[in-house]
Amino acid sequence: MSSPTKPQGFATRAIHSGRDKSDPHGSLTSPIYMTSTFEFDTAEQGGARFAGEEGGYIYTRLGNPTLNELEQKLAELEGAEACLTVASGMGAISSVFWSFVSPGDEILVDETLYGCTFAFFRHGMERFGITVRHVDMRDPENLTREISDKTRVVYFETPANPNMRIVDIKAISEIAHTKGAKVVVDSTYCTPYLQNPIALGADIVVHSATKYLGGHGDLMAGVILSSTEDMEQIRYVGLKDMTGAVLSPMNAFLITRGLKTLELRMERHCDNAEKIASFLEGNNKVEKVFFPGLPSFDQYELAKTQMRRFGGMIAFELNGGHDAGLKFLNSLELCKIAVSLGDAETLVEHPASMTHSTYEPEERARFGITEGLVRISAGLETADDILADINQALNYS
Ligand code: 7XF
């Protein structure tokens, strides 16, 4: 029996919360509102909806019941007042930034970022008169030194793609707020199951839902979570007018379906990643393993304070460096050579030539993305089968 005072568990909320119960047929799963527009009863009603005097849907770029149901659920899971779903992770990041920055502003971003996020800042925002500076956020003192009255947004990933650096969300948020800067955290690697940045002081959370939230490698999507006030700007400026990165209702339905098993999947991803990381650490062909769940990882203690478990991503370096890394990839049989992450299949990639090829080689060297680094997204397969494949591929590397 559930008691009214005891909060429901994550899996229960992932399955039940946000559900729109208005379907007249009692369908257990909600219908997909695969429509671009909504019919008004009268011209006056259309006008009133546009004027914000009457509720109700207008056009899917402004809102849609299938998207709305998913947004309610994700807001609840992340502990945010508001959620917006968009067409991709990059759509989420760009919709947030185009909502809040103007020429002359400065933004401080971490050193290690997903390659296209890095390109968005370096090759994108800088062209519009916005100063972008990189700060190694592993040490909050670096932010204290660099932040100024012009700093509008502080942005980082934790764990960072691809080298697994961890950023102290609480410490960074406190420093950023002394200057009135907004803190935006890309929590893609964790999902709301493993980490809740808003509870630790962050203002805005973004996810690439292409990854664990969708969970099956069959869609592109992004998620933004924030206060209701910030979301007004993000929804009605960033998304509506600036990026137009609208999520398809079909993909929203698939994510809602994927969320029903998020907890189960994340537990398995975490289990498999822990086994892979320990296995790699014990292998004499491996130089170094980057996984926050290993006691040898230099930020293990910090990771424990803000993550429920350590996630499904691992990076490692072989003794033979770059060439050994490529040989390892080419020798895999079960695991797939592919970018992306959070799928059922174990995916292995080489960041320097793939996801992080948007960095210049000297930027990679400066920001800790080594040329020999190999990244693994632990899938949901039987752990022994993954380990056997990694083991045989290491023999060739
Ligand atoms: O626009 P997308 O849905 O692909 O999301 C962009 C994105 C944002 N944040 C993080 C932490 C990400 O990892 C991504 C996408 N990363 C993929 C990867 O690293 O494999 C993209 C493949 S090129």
CB distance 90 to ligand 1 below 6 Å: yes
- Average pLDDT of 134-146? 98
State the pLDDT at residue 2: 53
Give the active site residue among 33, 114, 189, 359.
Answer: 114
Q: Are the beta carbons of 170 and 137 closer than 8 angstroms?
A: no
CB distance 210 to ligand 1 below 6 Å: yes
- Domain layout of the chain by residue ranges: 10-259, 262-396
* Protein residue closest via CA to atom 3 of ligand 1: 89
Sign of CA dihedral 213, 219, 222, 228: negative
With 90 as the cut, is the pLDDT of residue 35 above it? yes
Q: How far is the CA of 38 from the centre of ligand 1 (A)?
A: 32
Residues with Cβ within 8 Å of 349's Cβ and at least 6 positions away in sequence, in order, are 329, 337, 338, 339, 355, 374, 375
State the pLDDT at residue 22: 85
pLDDT tens for residues 243-298? Answer: 999 999 999 999 999 999 999 999 999 999 999 999 999 999 999 999 999 999 99
* Protein residue closest via CA to atom 16 of ligand 1: 340
- For helices 383-396 and 262-281, angle between their N-to-C axes, nearest 10 degrees: 40
CB distance 89 to ligand 1 below 6 Å: yes
State the pLDDT at residue 277: 98
Looking at every residue in the chain, the average pLDDT score rounds to 97
186 given a catalytic annotation: yes
pLDDT tens for residues 213-247? Answer: 999 999 999 999 999 999 999 999 999 999 999 99
Q: Which helix (H) or strand (E) holds 324?
A: helix 321-331
pTM reported for the whole predicted model: 0.97
Q: How far is the CA of 212 from the centre of ligand 1 (A)?
A: 11
State the pLDDT at residue 345: 98
Q: What CATH fold (topology level) applies to the domain 262-396?
A: Aspartate Aminotransferase, domain 1 (3.90.1150)
pLDDT tens for residues 59-118? Answer: 999 999 999 999 999 999 999 999 999 999 999 999 999 999 999 999 999 999 999 999
* Protein residue closest via CA to atom 20 of ligand 1: 340
Give the active site residue among 61, 288, 308, 327.
Answer: 61
Q: How far is the CA of 216 from the centre of ligand 1 (A)?
A: 15
Higher pLDDT, 22 or 16: 16
pLDDT tens for residues 196-206? Answer: 999 999 999 99
With 70 as the cut, is the pLDDT of residue 1 above it? no
CATH of domain 10-259: 3.40.640.10
Please tell me whether the peptide bond between 159 and the residue prior to it is cis, using omega within 30 degrees of 0.
Answer: yes
Measured between alpha carbons, how far is 83 from 74 in angstroms, rounded to an integer? Answer: 7
With 90 as the cut, is the pLDDT of residue 23 above it? no
CB distance 147 to ligand 1 below 6 Å: no
